[in-house]
Amino acid sequence: MPGSNLTRVEAEERKAVVTGNIHYAVALDLTAGPKTFGSTATIVFDAVAGSATFLDLIADEVTAVTLNGETLDPSAVYRDNRIELAGLRERNEVVVTALCRYSNTGEGLHRSVDPSDGNVYLYSQFEVPDARRVYAVFDQPDLKATFDFAVTAAKSWIVTSNMPVASKEDLDAVTAEGTLGDHAPETAVRWTFETTPTMSSYLTAICAGPYAEWHTEYANEDGRTVPMAQYCRQSLAEAFAKDVDYLFDITKKGFAFYAKTWGVPYPYAKYDQIYVPEYNAGAMENIGMVTIRDSYVFESKVTDALAERRVVTVLHELAHMWFGDYVTMKWWNDLWLNESFAEFTSTLATAEATEWHDAWATFCSGEKSWALRQDQLPTTHPIVAPINDLNDTYVNFDGITYAKGASVLKQLVAYVGRDKFFEGINHYLTKHAYSNATLADLLAELEETSGRDLKAWSAKWLEESGINTIAPEIDVDDDGVITSLKLRQSAPAEHAVLRPHRLALGFYNPGEDGTVTRTDRIELDVDGEITDVPEAVGKQRPALLLINDDDLTYTKIRFDEDSEEFAARNLQRVDDALARAVIWLGFWDMTRDGEFPAERFVAMTLALLAHETESTTFRYALACMSTAAHHYVAPSRRDVTLATVATKLWELAAQAEPGSDQQFQLVTAYLGYGTEEDETFAHHAEGLLDDFVRFKGLEIDNNMRWTIVSALANTNNIDADGIADELKRKETTENREFALGARAALANADAKAWAWDAALHDESLTNSQLEAVARGFAATPRPDLAEPYAATYFETIDWVWANRTYHMAEALLNGLYPIYADPATLTRLGDEWLAAHEDADRALRRLVIENVASSHRTLKVRAYNQQFA
């Protein structure tokens, strides 16, 4: 049998055999020890009589299989992570008993030990197809079922699942050495949960451990009272308690906003949010019990950008309760329907229902810049991506599925009108409640409510790859009055699709105080190569003509010559956060395309940072400036550019308001520009750590200490023993990760050799620890340390893919890519590897192609900037 990588064809064939009425009774025993747990699944289902199919299961051992009362030999029917079921009846019952393994990779049932107190925490993560790591299951989204879960765990633990607890039963004392950490054996409890509504298996969930807990309730719009809870590790409880009421309030605002906007009240019995350690994703929309990475529990100061991102994440997962859970895709090609919609509506809810009113500026700087970067890679794909198998699905949790799709949905709202759009969403949710649906089902409802023919719109926007560029062509008379304005739309040759756009043109001019404000606005439809704008004729030419004002559509923009020069000099004076974000993203895109000098982009960004107040724009401006300075400027200008940036960042930090978000981000960014030869940097960094260099209002808390330690490691101003001593101050889950990352960041050959070997071969590392080591390995901006690993990287790829799960392979292949090696070497070796691996798994090739493409871009942009050296 083919194994664990389920294909779309196999899923369709299984759906044709398993005809419905599926119910699972799943019993888990979590008291067996630190490595494995017991799993018994009883599945009843209808099928085509006389047919055959299979269950999915990844287990250490299958001890018993019974089909319709007949005992089957596990060694005969279980292989390649599947259990073969032959001779099916119209109604069937299969019972599978197995011993499954806890993971330390964030897949299946993850087991984490908190070193600060020895407590053990379990949580499940089942998307894409990892329910099969915990119980036998038809693990595909269109075989929805009802589920009964019963879980045996230590009495000191709590257990949560998708539904409220039906009963708890004390059992006899059990031996739980290892499972309970350092605690003695104790009485166990069997937790039994209420039957779920009809749902997909990837949305089922189990969490267990001595989690700290908080409870409240929500008066739902349908008259029910919905219990709500929040959970986190005991060691984070004190910090989390400060935010719990705020997060409950944000969630309640989300309930109200979505119910009002879509006309469908929250549909499930309860709503838990559980913050869990060592999580691969941001969060997961398990029905009634969302899991969220516990780096969102803030023990140390964070940027306002991250605080806002937590709000968007909470509202994103809540949106999924309707869009993705209540109505679910049939197959993973419509994954974007889940993620794009949740990303769009969570930003809308953040902007309109919370205090984060500039959320669309945040979206433009953060999410949309991600989309534009992803969409210009050789691996770009339609929003409705072709998904042939599960590996294809993994790599499509990307900037196109999330951010481009969300941006295109924003464009669709502008195209059909907001009221009509959400009326169509109401019909879609109501018609397909608790079932599966497709893009065609959604478009049918939107066409009916809006009166627009969306088939052509969908074909161009959702089913074709690539991104357009829109540029102005403007003529004025001697008095500066516009005599002609045209918008020219273009597309890359490999994706030559011109799309219909609903967008706005903003006219921006400086006032007497120098502030640049919008003085006029034209909204219009753009289609085809040339669009005339007759409404602009007779108007005074503005200092800045901004295409895609208010960020209504998804496109690259360019400026006319005068607007470009004015914007480059005056971006920081534009008074609107969203307009600044749109302009800045335009300049960054030109810089990446080799159309705007990298050093000028750096200077423009430094000027912006002296005034910018929107935290995410500030954060991404810092990040993109770093990329430009480290990779895009001409090599002969690199060192002087980096030194200039470091000096200016320190000056800006000194001038920033004490205790402000800007001060915090500027100091953090400065710490990324150290060199081993820079004694001033060492003085600053060591002084911050030892409190003889101070910024008023800046607290050197736990996370800031580790940022400084990592900066000192990256410049060889601390050694491995010093890092170990820092960890002894406070050994926690997070600080172990920081320490491993700092050790890997040490700027010497021995440290890099250790990090390379540990990342690849130390299987005791958790997923988060492995990622920290890989990041630290690649973080040192010294070509002499990266260059020896260029050839080794490509020699190692096949081994990684063959010996690691997808998530760990992705972390290794992306994290260990030696980005600071000579890009000419990386592109040569990468192209050779790709030519020799034309038949490699598509998901693997995509990971490699994207890394190599970044080096190709670096070469191209450096060549452009060489003319300015």
Residue 178 has pLDDT above 60, yes or no: no
Confidence of residue 605 (pLDDT cuts 50, 70, 90): very high
Are residues 785 and 750 in contact, defined by beta-carbon separation less than 8 angstroms?
no
Condensed to tens digits (0 to 9), the pLDDT of residues 542-586 reads: 999 999 999 999 999 999 999 999 999 999 999 999 999 999 999
How much is the average pLDDT of 621-635? 97
Residue 809's SS3 state is helix
Q: How far is CA 138 from CA 43, 101, 441, 683, 806, in A?
A: 9, 19, 24, 60, 20
pLDDT for the residue 337:
87
Written as one string, the DSSP assignment of 524-576 is EEE-SSEEE-GGGTTSBPPSEEEETGGG-S--EE---HHHHHHHHHHGGGB--
pLDDT for the residue 386:
85
Residue 175 has pLDDT above 60, yes or no: no
pLDDT for the residue 696:
95
Kind of pairing, strands 271-276 and 225-232? parallel
Are residues 88 and 48 in contact, defined by beta-carbon separation less than 8 angstroms?
yes
Are residues 584 and 547 in contact, defined by beta-carbon separation less than 8 angstroms?
no
How much is the average pLDDT of 839-863? 96
Q: Please name which of 610, 576, 571 lies closest in space to residue 587, comparing C-alpha atoms.
A: 571
Share of the chain above pLDDT 90, in %: 94
What contacts 721, CB < 8 A, 6 or more positions away? Answer: none
Condensed to tens digits (0 to 9), the pLDDT of residues 449-471 reads: 999 889 999 999 999 999 999 99
Residue 205 has pLDDT above 70, yes or no: yes
pLDDT for the residue 396:
84
The residue with tokens 């349908």 is 222
Are residues 131 and 72 in contact, defined by beta-carbon separation less than 8 angstroms?
no
pLDDT for the residue 395:
85
Residue 184 has pLDDT above 50, yes or no: no
Condensed to tens digits (0 to 9), the pLDDT of residues 776-826 reads: 999 999 999 999 999 999 999 999 999 998 899 999 999 999 999 999 999
Interatomic CA distance for residues 206 and 27, integer angstroms: 11
Condensed to tens digits (0 to 9), the pLDDT of residues 4-43 reads: 789 999 999 999 999 999 999 999 999 989 999 999 999 9
Condensed to tens digits (0 to 9), the pLDDT of residues 228-279 reads: 999 999 999 999 999 999 999 999 999 999 999 999 999 999 999 999 999 9
Query: Residue 818 carries which side chain, given as an amino acid letter?
Result: P
Confidence of residue 385 (pLDDT cuts 50, 70, 90): confident
Condensed to tens digits (0 to 9), the pLDDT of residues 587-600 reads: 999 999 999 999 99
Residue 185 has pLDDT above 90, yes or no: no
317 assigned to active site: yes
> What does residue 88 show for φ and ψ, rounded to 5 degrees?
-70, 155
Our CA dihedral for 751, 756, 759, 762, rounded to 10 degrees, sits at -80
Are residues 266 and 323 in contact, defined by beta-carbon separation less than 8 angstroms?
no
Residue 38's SS3 state is strand
- Full-model pTM: 0.95
Interatomic CA distance for residues 651 and 123, integer angstroms: 45
pLDDT for the residue 532:
98
Task: Enumerate the H helices of 18-111 as residue ranges.
Answer: 74-77
How much is the average pLDDT of 338-353? 96
Are residues 646 and 681 in contact, defined by beta-carbon separation less than 8 angstroms?
yes
Q: Please name which of 368, 684, 389 lies closest in space to residue 556, comparing C-alpha atoms.
A: 368
Interatomic CA distance for residues 433 and 753, integer angstroms: 54
Q: Of all residues in the chain, what percent are helix, strand and coil, respectively (each to 5)? A: 45, 25, 30
Confidence of residue 177 (pLDDT cuts 50, 70, 90): very low
- Spot the catalytic one: 278, 317, 726, 810: 317
For the range 703-708, what are the long-range contacts, defined as Cβ-Cβ under 8 Å and sequence gap of 24 or more? Answer: 703/299, 703/300, 703/301, 703/302, 703/734, 703/738, 704/300, 704/301, 704/668, 706/735, 706/738, 706/739, 706/742, 707/668, 707/671, 708/671
pLDDT for the residue 173:
53
